[in-house]
């Protein structure tokens, strides 16, 4: 590398680099972009979610980010609850970005653990559907992790596929059902869905009657329910047919279906499927805001967001990326996706968790 090239690279303004990063296939920069002390060190600490969801970022974003900025990504993987704990224990020395769902965003914002994203520094944010920009831009939603009821096609015929979450309580399915624990976000959504069935009310009303939901959840014990404790366990039970009815996230299951797994979604459920926006969130004391904003901007690139549809087969936040025919088959009608009031649920989560644990101890 010549001294002339190095000087030219370091002379790049932040705005020019953001324009360059708007296209993932853009020309690689000749040297690291230097602004803050952390950027000069050439590092960005990122905590992603797990499994196939994180893999898309690792495979597509990370190589291009490192090539385009010259910075190294230090990666960890975790889940929402653990990331919230990390935000507290590492408040003075946090990572730069954390990928967790809306279930934790409102609580983290209210506790002063997050800083809002500045749309002026993230040009691709202008192309994002408003509902994905959560809590006044404190979370940059990058994917909709839709949660629904899946069934093993070797054990359940398509003609007999569930049309309601109430199938979990059907005596005909005794000992053939599994649910997530309440410590998982989809486990908490099971409580709100149980409240819908128990009260006959839509989610917009029933979610505030979580006590009724818990009382109805207790009846699952009589139907021989299994509570899974890990994603591999849930997927193995479902894929093998050991437990043919398992609620789970489509972003983890859909790629397996594409590979020929004997699994199908029951996405025409009367109570609706469960939407859950997963976003990139910046800790309040994030050391390297500049590089973090480039990472978010790359995640909003249209070419990358098209892979959210083609690989994960779920709803993309990009205004110009609409669900493909195959995604609609797997995800179901976007209008049937329901979204919980996580601001309310997060405030009551400890109480709900304690009550759930007494039932399923």
Q: Are 19 and 297 in contact (CB under 8 A)?
A: no
What pLDDT was estimated at residue 8?
34
CA neighbor of 196 nearest in space, from 310, 338, 85: 338
What pLDDT was estimated at residue 11?
33
Helix (H, G, I), strand (E, B) or coil at 286: coil
How are beta strands 263-266 and 147-152 bridged, if at all?
Answer: antiparallel
What pLDDT was estimated at residue 255?
87
Residues of the chain with pLDDT under 50: 1-40
* CATH superfamily to which 3-143+277-322 belongs: Periplasmic binding protein-like II (3.40.190.10)
Tokens of 240: 């093998």
* CATH superfamily to which 147-274+329-360 belongs: Periplasmic binding protein-like II (3.40.190.10)
Q: Are 337 and 274 in contact (CB under 8 A)?
A: yes
What pLDDT was estimated at residue 53?
87
What radius of gyration do the chain's Cα atoms show? 21
What pLDDT was estimated at residue 356?
96
CA-to-CA dists, residue 4 to 32, 68, 71, 147, 194, angstroms: 14, 18, 20, 53, 66
What pLDDT was estimated at residue 17?
38
Q: Are 271 and 203 in contact (CB under 8 A)?
A: yes
Helix 231-240 vs helix 250-258: angle between axes, to the nearest 10 degrees? Answer: 40
Whole-model pTM: value is 0.83
What pLDDT was estimated at residue 79?
85
Name the segment(s) of the chain with CATH classification 3.40.190.10. 3-143+277-322, 147-274+329-360
Which of the 8 DSSP states describes residue 177?
A: B
Which of the 8 DSSP states describes residue 61?
A: I
- Rounded Cα–Cα distance for residues 285 and 346 (Å): 23
Task: Kindly give, in sequence order, each residue whose CB lies less than 8 Å from that of residue 98, ignoring residues fewer than 6 positions away.
Answer: 46, 47, 83, 86, 87, 280, 281, 282, 283
CA-to-CA dists, residue 49 to 1, 19, 72, angstroms: 37, 27, 19
Q: Are 307 and 60 in contact (CB under 8 A)?
A: yes
Tokens of 259: 């590979």
Classify residue 9 by burial, with Cβ atoms within 10 Å: 0-12, 13-18, 19+: middle
What pLDDT was estimated at residue 43?
93
What pLDDT was estimated at residue 5?
40
What pLDDT was estimated at residue 361?
80
């Amino acid at each position: 590398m010549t001294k002339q090239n190095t000087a030219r690279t370091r002379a790049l303004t932040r705005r020019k680099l953001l324009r360059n990063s708007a296209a993932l296939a853009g020309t690689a920069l000749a040297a690291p972009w230097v602004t803050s002390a952390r950027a000069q060190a050439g590092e960005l600490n990122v905590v992603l979610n797990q499994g196939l969801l994180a893999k898309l970022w690792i495979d597509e974003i990370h190589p291009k980010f490192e090539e385009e900025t010259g910075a190294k990504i230090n990666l960890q993987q975790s889940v929402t609850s653990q990331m919230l704990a990390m935000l507290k224990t590492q408040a003075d020395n946090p990572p730069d970005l954390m990928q967790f769902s809306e279930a934790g965003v409102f609580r983290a914002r209210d506790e002063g653990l997050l800083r809002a994203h500045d749309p002026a520094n993230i040009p691709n944010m202008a192309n994002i559907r408003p509902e994905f920009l959560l809590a006044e831009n404190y979370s940059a939603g990058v994917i909709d992790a839709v949660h629904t009821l899946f069934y093993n096609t070797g054990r359940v015929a398509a003609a007999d596929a569930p049309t309601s979450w109430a199938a979990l309580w059907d005596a005909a399915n005794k000992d053939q059902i599994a649910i997530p624990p309440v410590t998982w976000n989809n486990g908490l959504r099971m409580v709100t869905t149980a409240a819908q069935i128990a009260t006959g009310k839509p989610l917009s009303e029933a979610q505030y009657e979580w006590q009724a939901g818990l009382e109805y959840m207790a009846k699952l014990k009589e139907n021989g329910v299994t509570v899974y404790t890990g994603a591999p366990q849930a997927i193995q039970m479902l894929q093998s047919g050991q437990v043919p009815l398992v609620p789970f996230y489509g972003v983890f299951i859909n790629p397996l279906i594409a590979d020929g797994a004997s699994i199908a979604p029951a996405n025409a459920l009367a109570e609706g499927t469960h939407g859950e926006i997963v976003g990139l969130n910046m800790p309040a004391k994030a050391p390297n805001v500049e590089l973090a904003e480039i990472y978010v901007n790359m995640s909003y690139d249209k070419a990358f967001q098209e892979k959210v549809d083609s690989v994960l087969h779920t709803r993309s936040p990009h205004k110009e990326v609409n669900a493909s025919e195959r995604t609609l088959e797997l995800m179901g009608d976007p209008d049937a996706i329901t979204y919980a009031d996580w601001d309310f649920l997060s405030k009551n989560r400890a109480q709900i968790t304690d009550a759930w644990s007494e039932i399923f101890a």
